Amino acid sequence: MDPELDRLEGHIQQLIAGSQRLADENRQLRQALEEARLAQQTLRQRMDEARAQVRSALGRLPDAAPQE
C-alpha cells in the first residue's frame, strides 16, 4: 500500500479511537451530572425539612419576657 494511505489510515484510526473515548467520557459525565442533580435535590429537601423543624421548635419556645 501507499505509505501516504497508511499514514492517513493511522490518523483515521486515531480519530475514531479518540471519538469513541470522548463519547464514553461524555456518557460517564452525563451520568455523574444526573447523580449530582439527584443528590442536590435530596439535600435541598433535607434542608427544607430541617428548616421547618427549626421554625417549629422556635415557635414552641416561650416568649422571653424581660426580667427585672
46 falls within a domain: yes
51 falls within a domain: yes
Helix (H), strand (E), coil (C) string for the chain: CCHHHHHHHHHHHHHHHHHHHHHHHHHHHHHHHHHHHHHHHHHHHHHHHHHHHHHHHHHHCCCCCCCC
* pLDDT < 70 regions, the chain: 1, 65-68
Q: Cα–Cα distance between 28 and 22 in angstroms, integer? A: 10
32 falls within a domain: yes
50 falls within a domain: yes
47 falls within a domain: yes
Residue 65: per-residue pLDDT: 67
Extract long-range pairs of 55-62: CB within 8 Å, 24+ residues apart. Answer: none
43 falls within a domain: yes
34 falls within a domain: yes
Residue 63: per-residue pLDDT: 83
Specify the number of domains making up the chain: 1
Domain that holds residue 31: 27-56
